[in-house]
Structure 1
Amino acid sequence: MATLVRCELPPAGTGPLAGADVLYVHGWSDYFFQADLARTLTSWGARFFALDLRKYGRSLRPWQTPGYVEDLSAYDDEIGQALRIMGSRPAGRKVVLLGHSTGGLTLSLWAHRHPGRADALILNSPWLEFQASKSGRNALMPLVDMGARMDSHAPMLNVDLGFYSRAVNQRLEGEWDYNESWRPERGFAVRPGWLRAVLVGHAQVATGLTIDAPVLSLLSARSTLLARWSTDMLTTDSVLVVNEIAERSTRLGASVSIQRVDGALHDVFLSHLPARNAAYAALRRWAGAYVGTEPDGGTGPDGGAGPDADVNGGAQTGPEAGTSAQSVGP
């Protein structure tokens, strides 16, 4: 069971995303809480939706293994059902997919398998290759495959030291408030069945995809991957090797734009304000050229907290401002 979240703010009548529906998919150990992003794209004319995939965020149940799937194509049903609920095609609206990190990998593979279903693909630091590059992936894959055959759910060694959470979390050195049960400081336990699915996806990207929609890949200008905390992690990607991701982005399709944002974090839209504004400005220019009719203009509005609704319709407060949610899937 997945959860479709909808921004309840009415979309602006004009803007680079006027006439478009945006579907956002989060990354690993994550869920949708980026209300600032939803408000901004809504102010550009979009209807904004987001999926909390099965076993993540609002969709996670106590008895489930967080985030676990053994094939990224398992998400095809909930992505397709979300698009049907959004009702984009019958209304003649454009479909814009927006994926962060593992969500970017998932949506890239989905768009490759479903030509003609999306009008544009926006990738926010997509996890398109293993951090140790192709050679590291090839060396690791037999070990991961063996582990998956022996016990696909066995927890693997946790290599997440919590540095990215430190750069994002308002309680630490970041700016953002979120549910730490749904987005734990050191991430969910990685399991070989899930990691094998991701590495298979990386291998597919390495051989080249044929996405028929224009693609924008937003990345930080630099990476900082260290075994100790550094203040550089407040202004760089501390999760992925961005140079490798930039190269892999060129293999997604015939029309790919790559935008490097100085000072950006792994999630460019959670960066500190100067980098965040630069990311929004780059996205607005690209959306005006490839999606809508208004290529120029300012960045989106600042946000504030507001009401949220859980999957059962009960009112609550929190960082996911101005949204409502409903269940998707069997």
Structure 2
Amino acid sequence: MERRDEVTWEPDLLGPGFEQATLPLGADDEGDVVATVVRAMPHPGLRLFGPWRDVDVLYVHGWSDYFFQTDLARIFTDRGARFYALDLRKYGRSIRPGQARGYVTSLDVYDEDIAAALAAMDTERQGRRLVLLGHSTGGLTLTLWAARHPGRAAAVILNSPWLEFQLGPLGRQAVAPLVEVRARFDPRGAHPAVDFGFYTAAQRRLGTLPPAPDGWRPARGFPTHPAWLAAIIAGHARIAAGVDVGCPTLVLLSARSTSPLRWNDAMTSTDSVLVVDDIARAATRIAATVTIARIDGAIHDVFLSAEPARAEAGAALVSFLTGLAR
């Protein structure tokens, strides 16, 4: 166990090479709130001589998720970077009894989680380059955070970021007033289940989804609530209006989408969560320099795809970061 600056690092459930630290965030109406940061450090020799030895990565997961992608972490640590992953409040390692999974009323709340993680990483004081890496809802969260904190990140990498509502811009604008009204009067009300478990089934068929601790990653996702959905739609509206993360950005997407409403074998090689063409268009509004890599055969989490697509995504990531000047 290592303790430094009030951050205590302990062994993580991912096994040797991974440690975690709990980051207290005060309390809300459901009780104590924490975030959890997981880290993987490069081999000592790579810390000194690896090509990315001055890089710190901060990864943020998507909806109904937590960090478990050890192969993704090793892409960075094998090149000398320090890798950190954040389980946001009320997700994964950060779930506490009685909490509504993933529930927030504004994505800006996560500024506290990210600030606590960055303090634990000690990136800024040591003058290291910060690379933000976000998947799905985490990609939306990090995009908005980077736009509110210009100059903090050296690069942003987004893995199928949820930058636009599945109904498209016109659909989002049509439902937004209805969602806002319900969020005001029934913020924690129940929504009909729209996740039929097919995306989870696709990952299991591919063999890329390890068993999760109970309740951390349910097959049909967390229940959703009006106030949370209003926060997501507000984030999409900000993206549509245009933001600037202030640094080069890579967006990794599947080449194609598949409807999530009924099982289709194509779900093992396409995105069955987002409409990737809409995401690609939205991605052009988040930075002055955006590289969009469409990966044939990729699923929603491109790094949980079948091996050829996973390898192509990894190669695109390495090429992108290698091309950035110090």
What TM-score comes out, normalization by structure 2 length? 0.86
Name the residue aligned to 2:197: 162
Matched, 1:27 2:52: no
Deviation of 1:259 after TM superposition, in Å, equals: 0.5
CA–CA distance in structure 1, aligned partners of residues 53 and 293 of structure 2: 22
Matched, 1:283 2:317: yes
Deviation of 1:9 after TM superposition, in Å, equals: 4.6
**RMSD across aligned positions (CA):** 1.3
Letter in 1 for 2:170: S
Segments of structure 2 that go 5 or more residues without pairing to the other structure are 1-33
Question: For 1:126-205, what aligned pairs fall within 5 Å after superposition?
Answer: 126-169=161-204, 172-179=205-212, 181-205=215-239
Q: 1:207 aligns with which of 225, 241, 249?
A: 241
Q: 2:43 aligns with which of 10, 20, 23?
A: 10
- The alignment covers a number of residue pairs equal to 290
Name the residue aligned to 1:256: 290
Segments of structure 1 that go 5 or more residues without pairing to the other structure are 293-330
Question: For 1:32-181, what aligned pairs fall within 5 Å after superposition?
Answer: 32-169=67-204, 172-179=205-212, 181=215
Question: For 1:209-228, what aligned pairs fall within 5 Å after superposition?
Answer: 209-228=243-262
Letter in 1 for 2:274: L
Matched, 1:240 2:274: yes
C-alpha contact 1:70 1:193 (8 A) present in aligned 2: yes
Structure 2 SS opposite 1:285: helix
C-alpha contact 2:255 2:294 (8 A) present in aligned 1: yes
Structure 2 SS opposite 1:252: coil
C-alpha contact 2:135 2:161 (8 A) present in aligned 1: yes
CA–CA distance in structure 1, aligned partners of residues 133 and 179 of structure 2: 29
Of the two structures, which has the highest relative contact order with CA contacts closer than 8 Å and spacing of 6 or more?
A: 1
Sequence identity (%)? 56
Letter in 2 for 1:52: D
C-alpha contact 2:133 2:158 (8 A) present in aligned 1: yes
What TM-score comes out, normalization by structure 1 length? 0.85
CA–CA distance in structure 1, aligned partners of residues 100 and 262 of structure 2: 29
Question: CA distance change for structure 1 residues 107 and 291 in 2, over 3 Å: closer, same or farther?
Answer: farther
